[in-house]
Amino acid sequence: MSEAPPLLEVRELCTELRTASGPLLVVDRVSLRLERGQSLGLVGESGCGKTLTALSLMRLLPPQARVVSGQVLFGGRDLLALDERELRALRGDRIAMVFQEPMSALNPVLEVGDQVAEALRVHGRSRAEATRIALELLERVGVVPASDRFAAYPHQLSGGLRQRVLLAMAVACQPDLLITDEPTTALDPTLQAQVLELILELQRSSGLALLLISHDLGVVAQVCGRVAVLHAGQLVEEGTAEAIFARPRHPYTAALLEAARALHHRTSSDDELPAPPALPALRGAAELPSRWPPGCRFASRCHRADASCAAGSVELDEGTHRCRCRHPLAPAEPP
Protein backbone atom coordinates (compact mmCIF):
# COMPACT_ATOMS: atom_id res chain seq x y z
CA MET A 1 0.00 0.00 0.00
CA SER A 2 1.24 3.48 -0.83
CA GLU A 3 1.86 5.90 2.01
CA ALA A 4 -0.86 8.53 2.50
CA PRO A 5 0.28 12.05 1.59
CA PRO A 6 0.71 14.63 4.34
CA LEU A 7 -2.25 16.89 4.97
CA LEU A 8 -0.26 19.93 3.79
CA GLU A 9 2.97 19.95 1.82
CA VAL A 10 4.42 23.23 0.57
CA ARG A 11 7.11 22.79 -2.06
CA GLU A 12 9.50 25.59 -3.05
CA LEU A 13 6.85 28.31 -2.71
CA CYS A 14 7.85 31.67 -4.23
CA THR A 15 5.73 34.81 -3.95
CA GLU A 16 6.58 38.18 -5.38
CA LEU A 17 5.34 41.69 -4.69
CA ARG A 18 4.92 44.16 -7.53
CA THR A 19 6.37 47.59 -6.74
CA ALA A 20 7.05 50.80 -8.66
CA SER A 21 10.71 49.75 -9.00
CA GLY A 22 9.90 46.23 -10.15
CA PRO A 23 8.91 42.84 -8.67
CA LEU A 24 10.40 41.77 -5.33
CA LEU A 25 10.62 38.15 -4.19
CA VAL A 26 9.20 38.23 -0.66
CA VAL A 27 8.67 34.47 -0.09
CA ASP A 28 11.66 32.55 -1.43
CA ARG A 29 11.42 28.76 -1.97
CA VAL A 30 9.66 27.98 1.30
CA SER A 31 8.95 24.28 1.86
CA LEU A 32 6.86 22.98 4.76
CA ARG A 33 5.11 19.76 5.73
CA LEU A 34 2.21 19.33 8.16
CA GLU A 35 0.62 16.01 9.09
CA ARG A 36 -2.94 15.51 10.25
CA GLY A 37 -3.39 16.54 13.86
CA GLN A 38 0.06 18.13 13.98
CA SER A 39 0.82 21.72 15.07
CA LEU A 40 3.47 23.82 13.34
CA GLY A 41 4.59 27.27 14.43
CA LEU A 42 5.83 29.67 11.74
CA VAL A 43 7.96 32.31 13.49
CA GLY A 44 10.20 35.26 12.72
CA GLU A 45 10.44 39.02 12.97
CA SER A 46 7.82 41.33 11.50
CA GLY A 47 8.24 41.57 7.74
CA CYS A 48 9.96 38.20 7.33
CA GLY A 49 7.15 36.77 5.15
CA LYS A 50 5.03 34.79 7.62
CA THR A 51 1.65 36.28 6.72
CA LEU A 52 2.38 36.38 2.98
CA THR A 53 3.26 32.69 3.16
CA ALA A 54 -0.10 31.90 4.78
CA LEU A 55 -2.02 34.09 2.33
CA SER A 56 -0.20 32.36 -0.52
CA LEU A 57 -1.37 28.98 0.76
CA MET A 58 -4.98 30.19 0.87
CA ARG A 59 -4.68 32.15 -2.41
CA LEU A 60 -5.85 35.27 -0.62
CA LEU A 61 -2.97 37.55 -1.59
CA PRO A 62 -3.52 41.28 -2.13
CA PRO A 63 -3.67 42.43 -5.79
CA GLN A 64 -0.03 43.56 -5.83
CA ALA A 65 1.25 40.09 -4.84
CA ARG A 66 1.25 36.77 -6.69
CA VAL A 67 2.66 33.26 -6.37
CA VAL A 68 5.22 32.78 -9.13
CA SER A 69 6.25 29.16 -8.57
CA GLY A 70 5.97 26.17 -6.28
CA GLN A 71 3.23 23.84 -5.13
CA VAL A 72 0.81 23.81 -2.20
CA LEU A 73 -0.43 20.24 -1.85
CA PHE A 74 -3.43 19.70 0.41
CA GLY A 75 -4.20 16.01 0.73
CA GLY A 76 -2.24 15.54 -2.49
CA ARG A 77 -4.15 18.22 -4.47
CA ASP A 78 -2.29 21.33 -5.60
CA LEU A 79 -4.26 24.33 -4.32
CA LEU A 80 -2.44 26.60 -6.77
CA ALA A 81 -3.86 24.61 -9.70
CA LEU A 82 -7.52 24.65 -8.59
CA ASP A 83 -10.07 26.94 -10.19
CA GLU A 84 -11.91 29.44 -8.00
CA ARG A 85 -15.01 27.26 -7.61
CA GLU A 86 -12.96 24.30 -6.39
CA LEU A 87 -10.98 26.54 -4.05
CA ARG A 88 -14.12 28.09 -2.52
CA ALA A 89 -15.37 24.59 -1.73
CA LEU A 90 -12.24 23.97 0.35
CA ARG A 91 -11.90 27.36 2.08
CA GLY A 92 -13.87 27.48 5.30
CA ASP A 93 -14.85 23.82 4.93
CA ARG A 94 -11.59 21.84 5.01
CA ILE A 95 -9.18 24.77 5.43
CA ALA A 96 -9.92 27.75 7.67
CA MET A 97 -7.94 30.84 8.62
CA VAL A 98 -8.20 33.22 11.56
CA PHE A 99 -6.82 36.59 10.56
CA GLN A 100 -4.62 38.85 12.63
CA GLU A 101 -6.98 41.69 13.59
CA PRO A 102 -10.42 40.53 14.80
CA MET A 103 -12.07 43.94 14.43
CA SER A 104 -11.20 44.23 10.76
CA ALA A 105 -11.80 40.53 10.06
CA LEU A 106 -15.43 40.74 11.25
CA ASN A 107 -18.07 42.66 9.30
CA PRO A 108 -18.95 45.66 11.52
CA VAL A 109 -22.57 45.92 10.25
CA LEU A 110 -23.57 42.27 10.73
CA GLU A 111 -24.48 40.54 13.98
CA VAL A 112 -21.74 38.16 15.10
CA GLY A 113 -24.11 35.19 15.28
CA ASP A 114 -25.15 35.70 11.67
CA GLN A 115 -21.49 35.82 10.65
CA VAL A 116 -20.84 32.45 12.29
CA ALA A 117 -24.02 31.00 10.75
CA GLU A 118 -23.07 32.33 7.31
CA ALA A 119 -19.90 30.22 7.35
CA LEU A 120 -22.17 27.17 7.67
CA ARG A 121 -24.80 28.28 5.15
CA VAL A 122 -22.17 28.84 2.46
CA HIS A 123 -21.35 25.15 2.75
CA GLY A 124 -24.91 23.86 2.49
CA ARG A 125 -26.55 24.09 5.92
CA SER A 126 -30.10 25.41 6.16
CA ARG A 127 -30.74 28.71 7.94
CA ALA A 128 -32.30 26.99 10.97
CA GLU A 129 -29.54 24.40 11.26
CA ALA A 130 -26.83 27.03 10.78
CA THR A 131 -28.33 29.18 13.54
CA ARG A 132 -28.52 26.23 15.92
CA ILE A 133 -24.92 25.19 15.30
CA ALA A 134 -23.73 28.82 15.53
CA LEU A 135 -25.31 29.13 18.99
CA GLU A 136 -23.61 25.90 20.08
CA LEU A 137 -20.26 27.08 18.74
CA LEU A 138 -20.48 30.44 20.48
CA GLU A 139 -21.19 28.66 23.76
CA ARG A 140 -18.32 26.26 23.14
CA VAL A 141 -15.77 29.03 22.58
CA GLY A 142 -16.97 31.02 25.60
CA VAL A 143 -19.06 33.78 23.99
CA VAL A 144 -21.75 33.45 26.64
CA PRO A 145 -24.61 33.62 27.04
CA ALA A 146 -24.75 32.83 23.34
CA SER A 147 -28.46 33.61 23.11
CA ASP A 148 -27.69 37.21 24.11
CA ARG A 149 -24.38 37.61 22.26
CA PHE A 150 -25.73 36.19 19.00
CA ALA A 151 -27.31 39.54 18.06
CA ALA A 152 -24.34 41.67 19.17
CA TYR A 153 -22.27 43.66 16.70
CA PRO A 154 -18.45 43.33 16.71
CA HIS A 155 -17.91 46.76 18.30
CA GLN A 156 -20.05 45.67 21.26
CA LEU A 157 -17.61 42.86 22.13
CA SER A 158 -14.15 42.99 23.69
CA GLY A 159 -11.08 42.02 21.68
CA GLY A 160 -10.95 38.65 23.40
CA LEU A 161 -14.59 37.88 22.58
CA ARG A 162 -14.12 38.97 18.97
CA GLN A 163 -11.18 36.56 18.70
CA ARG A 164 -13.41 33.79 20.06
CA VAL A 165 -16.07 34.62 17.45
CA LEU A 166 -13.44 34.28 14.72
CA LEU A 167 -12.41 30.89 16.10
CA ALA A 168 -16.05 29.79 16.12
CA MET A 169 -16.37 30.84 12.47
CA ALA A 170 -13.14 29.04 11.57
CA VAL A 171 -14.06 25.68 13.12
CA ALA A 172 -17.76 25.82 12.19
CA CYS A 173 -17.38 23.33 9.33
CA GLN A 174 -14.89 21.14 11.21
CA PRO A 175 -11.88 21.84 8.97
CA ASP A 176 -8.86 19.56 8.67
CA LEU A 177 -6.46 22.53 8.80
CA LEU A 178 -6.68 25.72 10.84
CA ILE A 179 -4.31 28.61 10.07
CA THR A 180 -4.09 31.29 12.75
CA ASP A 181 -2.21 34.54 12.16
CA GLU A 182 -1.03 36.17 15.41
CA PRO A 183 -4.14 34.98 17.30
CA THR A 184 -3.20 36.71 20.58
CA THR A 185 -1.93 40.06 19.27
CA ALA A 186 -3.14 43.03 21.35
CA LEU A 187 -4.68 40.76 24.04
CA ASP A 188 -3.67 41.13 27.66
CA PRO A 189 -1.88 38.15 29.26
CA THR A 190 -5.05 36.73 30.84
CA LEU A 191 -7.02 36.80 27.59
CA GLN A 192 -4.00 35.52 25.70
CA ALA A 193 -3.81 32.45 27.94
CA GLN A 194 -7.55 31.84 27.53
CA VAL A 195 -7.43 32.07 23.73
CA LEU A 196 -4.41 29.75 23.56
CA GLU A 197 -6.12 27.20 25.78
CA LEU A 198 -9.19 27.45 23.55
CA ILE A 199 -7.11 26.79 20.41
CA LEU A 200 -5.50 23.76 22.08
CA GLU A 201 -8.89 22.43 23.20
CA LEU A 202 -10.33 22.84 19.70
CA GLN A 203 -7.35 21.03 18.22
CA ARG A 204 -7.53 18.18 20.74
CA SER A 205 -11.27 17.68 20.39
CA SER A 206 -11.41 18.02 16.59
CA GLY A 207 -8.10 16.45 15.60
CA LEU A 208 -7.35 19.30 13.23
CA ALA A 209 -3.90 20.34 12.09
CA LEU A 210 -2.74 23.78 13.18
CA LEU A 211 -0.45 26.25 11.44
CA LEU A 212 0.24 29.00 13.98
CA ILE A 213 1.89 32.19 12.72
CA SER A 214 3.45 34.30 15.45
CA HIS A 215 6.39 36.48 16.39
CA ASP A 216 5.77 35.46 20.03
CA LEU A 217 8.01 32.49 20.78
CA GLY A 218 6.39 31.94 24.17
CA VAL A 219 3.04 31.38 22.45
CA VAL A 220 4.57 28.94 19.98
CA ALA A 221 6.34 27.05 22.78
CA GLN A 222 3.00 26.45 24.50
CA VAL A 223 1.08 25.29 21.43
CA CYS A 224 3.27 23.76 18.72
CA GLY A 225 5.02 20.43 18.30
CA ARG A 226 7.18 21.65 15.42
CA VAL A 227 8.62 25.08 14.56
CA ALA A 228 9.72 26.68 11.28
CA VAL A 229 11.80 29.87 11.43
CA LEU A 230 11.61 32.47 8.64
CA HIS A 231 14.14 35.22 8.03
CA ALA A 232 14.07 37.60 5.04
CA GLY A 233 11.61 35.43 3.14
CA GLN A 234 13.57 32.20 3.57
CA LEU A 235 13.12 29.21 5.84
CA VAL A 236 16.33 29.15 7.91
CA GLU A 237 15.55 26.41 10.45
CA GLU A 238 12.86 23.80 11.03
CA GLY A 239 12.54 21.03 13.60
CA THR A 240 10.73 19.86 16.71
CA ALA A 241 9.80 22.56 19.20
CA GLU A 242 11.94 20.81 21.82
CA ALA A 243 15.04 20.92 19.61
CA ILE A 244 14.45 24.44 18.31
CA PHE A 245 13.97 25.97 21.75
CA ALA A 246 16.62 23.95 23.61
CA ARG A 247 19.25 23.37 20.91
CA PRO A 248 18.85 25.87 18.03
CA ARG A 249 21.34 25.47 15.19
CA HIS A 250 20.91 28.73 13.29
CA PRO A 251 22.40 31.86 14.94
CA TYR A 252 19.27 33.81 14.02
CA THR A 253 17.02 31.36 15.89
CA ALA A 254 19.28 31.46 18.95
CA ALA A 255 19.33 35.27 18.90
CA LEU A 256 15.53 35.39 18.64
CA LEU A 257 15.25 33.08 21.64
CA GLU A 258 17.69 35.14 23.67
CA ALA A 259 15.79 38.35 22.87
CA ALA A 260 12.49 36.68 23.78
CA ARG A 261 13.85 35.41 27.08
CA ALA A 262 15.27 38.84 27.96
CA LEU A 263 11.88 40.44 27.32
CA HIS A 264 10.04 37.69 29.18
CA HIS A 265 12.27 37.98 32.25
CA ARG A 266 11.62 41.72 32.43
CA THR A 267 7.86 41.14 32.54
CA SER A 268 7.42 37.79 34.30
CA SER A 269 9.00 35.47 36.83
CA ASP A 270 7.99 32.38 34.81
CA ASP A 271 10.59 30.46 32.82
CA GLU A 272 8.72 29.17 29.77
CA LEU A 273 11.53 29.32 27.21
CA PRO A 274 14.61 27.10 27.57
CA ALA A 275 17.88 29.02 27.57
CA PRO A 276 19.62 29.03 24.15
CA PRO A 277 23.41 29.13 23.83
CA ALA A 278 24.78 32.46 25.06
CA LEU A 279 25.06 34.80 22.07
CA PRO A 280 25.27 38.55 21.50
CA ALA A 281 21.90 40.30 21.35
CA LEU A 282 20.05 40.34 18.03
CA ARG A 283 21.31 43.47 16.32
CA GLY A 284 20.00 45.60 13.50
CA ALA A 285 17.03 44.72 11.30
CA ALA A 286 16.52 42.36 8.39
CA GLU A 287 17.46 43.76 4.99
CA LEU A 288 14.66 44.91 2.71
CA PRO A 289 13.89 42.51 -0.17
CA SER A 290 15.40 44.98 -2.65
CA ARG A 291 18.73 44.71 -0.81
CA TRP A 292 18.94 40.99 -0.13
CA PRO A 293 22.51 39.77 -0.75
CA PRO A 294 23.26 36.72 -2.92
CA GLY A 295 24.54 34.82 0.12
CA CYS A 296 23.26 34.48 3.66
CA ARG A 297 20.69 37.18 4.44
CA PHE A 298 21.57 37.14 8.12
CA ALA A 299 25.32 37.58 7.58
CA SER A 300 25.40 41.34 8.28
CA ARG A 301 23.83 40.71 11.71
CA CYS A 302 25.65 37.48 12.61
CA HIS A 303 28.67 37.21 14.90
CA ARG A 304 29.71 33.91 13.24
CA ALA A 305 29.68 35.20 9.64
CA ASP A 306 32.79 35.25 7.47
CA ALA A 307 33.52 36.01 3.82
CA SER A 308 32.13 32.65 2.66
CA CYS A 309 28.67 33.50 4.04
CA ALA A 310 28.18 36.41 1.65
CA ALA A 311 29.74 34.67 -1.35
CA GLY A 312 26.84 32.54 -2.51
CA SER A 313 23.49 31.00 -1.65
CA VAL A 314 23.20 28.64 1.30
CA GLU A 315 20.75 25.74 1.09
CA LEU A 316 18.81 23.95 3.80
CA ASP A 317 20.38 20.72 4.91
CA GLU A 318 18.29 17.56 5.15
CA GLY A 319 16.90 15.64 8.12
CA THR A 320 14.35 16.11 10.86
CA HIS A 321 16.12 19.28 12.05
CA ARG A 322 16.95 21.41 9.00
CA CYS A 323 19.16 24.49 9.02
CA ARG A 324 20.35 27.00 6.40
CA CYS A 325 23.78 28.09 7.67
CA ARG A 326 27.46 27.64 6.73
CA HIS A 327 28.48 27.83 10.38
CA PRO A 328 25.62 26.37 12.43
CA LEU A 329 25.75 26.10 16.19
CA ALA A 330 26.88 22.70 17.37
CA PRO A 331 24.06 20.63 18.90
CA ALA A 332 24.31 20.81 22.67
CA GLU A 333 23.07 18.53 25.39
CA PRO A 334 19.61 19.50 26.69
CA PRO A 335 19.81 21.74 29.79
What does R_g of the chain's alpha carbons equal in angstroms? 21
In this structure, which topology does domain 8-94+175-323 adopt according to CATH? Rossmann fold (3.40.50)
Quick one: angle between helices 159-171 and 112-121, nearest 10? 10
Quick one: pLDDT at residue 274? 56
Quick one: pLDDT at residue 24? 93
Start-to-end Cα distance in the chain = 42
Quick one: pLDDT at residue 334? 37
Quick one: pLDDT at residue 237? 96
CA distance 144 to 128: 20
| Burial degree of 132 (CB within 10 A; 0-12, 13-18, 19+) | middle
Burial 7-20 (b: 16+ CB within 10 A, else e): bbbbeebbbbbeee
How do 39-43 and 226-231 pair as beta strands?
parallel
DSSP type of residue 215: S
Q: From the first residue on, what is the mean pLDDT of each consecutive set of 10 residues in the chain (335 residues)? A: 82 95 93 94 92 94 96 95 91 86 83 92 90 93 92 92 90 91 80 84 88 90 94 95 93 90 57 51 76 88 88 82 91 45
CA distance 260 to 255: 9
Q: What is the DSSP string of 91-114?
A: BTTTEEEE-S-HHHHS-TTS-HHH
Backbone angles phi and psi of 7, in degrees to 5: -60, -45
Quick one: pLDDT at residue 101? 73
| Boundaries of every domain in the chain | 8-94+175-323, 103-174
